[in-house]
Amino acid sequence: MLNSSPALAPATTILAGAVLLGTISPRIAAAHECDAARGPLEICPCDRYGNAIPRIAESTTWVFAGGGLEERRGFSPSPAILGIGAEVTIGPLARYRGFPSSAWDPGDAEVRAGVWAVGATHFDGRTLVEGGVKAHLGAINTAEWGTFDVRLGAGYGAFDAKKSPFFVTTFTWGVRSFQQRYGLCGPGSHNLPKAHGYGSVIRAFVTLRRATNAEPNVEFTVGIELSPTFLLPPYSWFRLGGGPA
């Protein structure tokens, strides 16, 4: 029988301690980065996943660009359009398990409703303003299939050389990222207000405008809506899916 030498005990203890330190030190460093390197109101990547709390009111702003067709005794290309928009939604008015929520994410799908407004100008100088109501279909945590919106409203603007009231319908599909839904780190984070949150969107849109007394009386536009804040940190593939970054 072999007897272990007493001289090996300190070496074994040191080796075991080194292995343990090597195992836990990355986690200690990650926790330190979460609590110290980031500010007190920043999103904390170590504890936010699956902890989404929708705000009662959620708002966002965006810029957009697009182009399309207009009807003038037949359809022809319309001048490109640039604009800005804003919205506020209230909810969730309903939540359920299923589309468009992720199959691997524990969160529910949600339905929200709200109001919106847009101001825009065509490249030929024509301007318009419009606004109305909207419905939103998305997810509490991660919308694996994207988020869907329909906006209905009315506006006033120039169709050709004549200004006219018009009706407008817009459908959008894309990503809606509200980082304030997820866990926060830092002193006092649990006391943050839950009534309102501001987020970012990147969406494709299709818009149909129909004037009441002007030509061309129909304008069909497709394009992209983007919140400038979507280009700011944090960056991750999860955020591009509408989930925690």
Confidence of residue 80 (pLDDT cuts 50, 70, 90): very high
DSSP per-residue string spanning 207-243: EEEEESS-SS-EEEEEEEEE-GGGGSSP--HHHHTTS
pLDDT band for position 178 (50/70/90)? confident
Q: How far is CA 175 from CA 35, 45, 100, 117, 138, in A?
A: 28, 20, 11, 19, 9
Residue 105 CA, chain-centre distance (Å), reads 17
For each of the domains in the chain, give its residue range(s) and CATH number, in order of start. Answer: 57-240 (2.40.160)
**In sequence order, what are the residues at sequence separation of 6 or more whose Cβ sits closer than 8 angstroms to the Cβ of residue 239?**
177, 179, 245
Query: What angle (nearest 5°) sits at the alpha carbon of residue 211, between those of residues 169 and 165?
Result: 95
Span 15-63, pLDDT tens digits: 444 433 343 333 333 333 334 334 444 444 444 445 678 899 999 999 9
Reading the block at residue 161, the tokens are 């050389």
Give 105's pLDDT tier (boundaries 50, 70, 90).
low
Contacts of 231 (CB under 8 A, 6+ apart): none
Give pTM, 2 decimals: 0.75
Sign of CA dihedral 89, 90, 96, 102: positive
Residues β-bridged to residue 121: 82, 127
Q: In the prediction, which pLDDT does 129 show?
A: 97
Instruction: Give pLDDT, residue 234.
Output: 76
